[in-house]
Amino acid sequence: MSDMSKQPTDQPEASSAAGASSGAEKRRHPRLDYSVPVFVRVLVEEETFNPLRFSGRSRNISRGGMLVQIPNLTESDYRRLIQRQRMVRVQCQLPEIRTEAVFFGKIVWYDYHTSEAGSTCSLGIAFEQLHEREERALSELLRKLEAAASPPQAVLSLE
């Protein structure tokens, strides 16, 4: 198997970040580059709530979700993931919180690639209800990332 992209079986089809996009993105929240180590637990209900556990890295973040890349995901774990929409718990460090942030959500798309170097699986995660602490920290992080991504404003002088 070389490349596989899959929407969860109970979700309508949508374009993934890794795929080509036709026209402007139809997102409610803009994505901002953000790369930090993450720990992901994926709930597998049909296996007596035995979560799959993966370490990876975030690639971008928005108010609505996060793109996470999991290196060296086995094909069998990938096949278990795509059987249905999965609920997840993502743990990561946000600079605005001195302890680890925990985000709950669901996987809304997958993108799995294999090569001689190994496999990589990208997970598009939509956040569910955020705790107040994570909501505040996420808002502050996004504000800082947006400011860093914006070109400096030119100062207009009326002299």
Contacts of 16 (CB under 8 A, 6+ apart): 5, 109, 111, 122, 124
| pLDDT score for 155 | 54
Pick one of 3.30.2310.20, 1.10.3430.10, 3.30.2320.20, 2.40.10.220 as the CATH number of 3-7+29-148.
2.40.10.220
Residue 13 has pLDDT above 50, yes or no: no
| pLDDT score for 150 | 77
The pTM score is: 0.76
| pLDDT score for 78 | 92
Residue 117 has pLDDT above 50, yes or no: yes
Taking the CB of residue 56, how many other CB atoms lie within 10 A of it?
21
Q: Where are the domains of the chain?
A: 3-7+29-148
pLDDT band at 156 (very low <50, low <70, confident <90, very high): low
